[in-house]
A and B are shown apart, each in its own frame.
Chain A
Amino acid sequence: MATKLAGDPNGLRRAHVPLDEKLPPGVKPVFSESGIEMKPVYTAADIGREGDTLERPGQYPFTRGIHAEMFRRRPWTMRQYTGFGNARATNERFLYLIKNGQTGLNVAFDLPTQCGLDSDDPAAEGEVGRVGMAVDSLRDFEVAFEGIDLDKITVSLTINGTAAILIAMYLAMAEKKGFDIKGLRGTAQNDILKEFVGRGTWIFPVEPSIKLVGDTIEYCARHAPKYSPVSVCGYHIRESGCDPVEEMAYAFCIAKAYIDETLKRGLAIDDFAGRLSFNFNIFGKIFEQVCKFRGGRRLWAKILKEQYAATDPDTMWLRMIAGGGGFGLTIDQPENNIMRGAYYALIAALAGAQTVALCCYDEAYTIPSPKAQRISLRTMQLLIEEMGLCDTVDPLGGSYFVEALTDKMEAEMRRTMARVDELGGIVKLIAEGRLQDHVSQQAYEHEKKVESGEVRKVGVNCYRVEEDEPDVEMHPTKPEDLALQLASLATIKAERSAVEVGCALDRLEADARAGVNTMPAIMAAVKAYATVGEMTKVLVDVYGRYREPIRFAAE
Chain B
Amino acid sequence: MTSARKIKVLLAKPGLDGHDVGAKVVVRALLDAGFEVVYTGLRKTPEEIAKRAKEENADVIGMSILSGSHIPFAQRFRKLWDEYNLGTKLWLIGGNVPKKDHGALKDIGVDAVFATGSKLDEIVTYIKEQTARWPRN
Contact = CB atoms under 8 A, between A and B. Distances in A.
A30 interface: no
B111 interface: no
Given A364-B116, A451-B119, A552-B27, A443 B21 contact: yes
A548 B117 contact: no
Interface string B102-114: 0000000000000
A403 interface: no
B18 A195 contact: yes
A9 to B, nearest CB: 13
Contact of B16 (A114, A331, A552): A114
Q: What size tier do the contact residues of chain A reach?
A: 35 or more
A383 B25 CA distance: 36
Given A125-B72, A131-B67, A444-B29, A111 B39 contact: no
Given A126-B72, A198-B21, A111 B116 contact: no
B87 interface: no
A195 B16 CA distance: 13
A470 B115 CA distance: 9
Interface string A256-284: 00000000000000000000000000000
For chain B, what secondary structure do more than half of its interface residues adopt (helix, strand, loop), or is it mixed? Answer: loop
Contact of B73 (A115, A126, A554): A126
A447 B117 contact: no
Chain B residues touching A, range: 20 to 34
Interface string A179-211: 000000000000000010011110000000000
A548 B16 CA distance: 14
Interface stretch (B1-9, B41-49, B126-134): B41-49
Contacts of A126: 15, 69, 72-73
A477 B99 CA distance: 17
B12 to A, nearest CB: 12
A371 B42 CA distance: 32
Given A198-B21, A447-B25, A366 B96 contact: yes
A128 to B, nearest CB: 10
Given A331-B116, A472-B98, A477 B68 contact: yes
A485 interface: no
B116 A447 contact: no
B79 interface: no
Contacts, number: 107
A444 B96 contact: no
Nearest to B17: A111
Nearest to B99: A471
A199 B20 CA distance: 7
B67 A127 contact: yes
Contact of A123 (B31, B45, B72, B116): B45
A126 to B, nearest CB: 4
11 contacts: A126-B69, A198-B20, A200-B18, A201-B16, A331-B115, A364-B116, A447-B25, A470-B116, A471-B115, A472-B116, A474-B68
Interface of A: 111-112, 114-115, 117, 123-127, 130-131, 195, 198-201, 239-241, 327, 330-332, 364-366, 440-441, 443-444, 447-448, 451, 460, 469-475, 477, 548, 550, 552, 554
Interface of B: 15-21, 24-25, 27-29, 31, 37, 39, 41-43, 45, 67-69, 72-73, 96-99, 115-117, 119-121
Given A131-B17, A470-B116, A552-B27, 14 more contacts: A115-B16, A127-B15, A198-B18, A200-B18, A200-B43, A201-B18, A331-B115, A441-B28, A444-B29, A471-B98, A472-B96, A474-B98, A550-B41, A552-B31
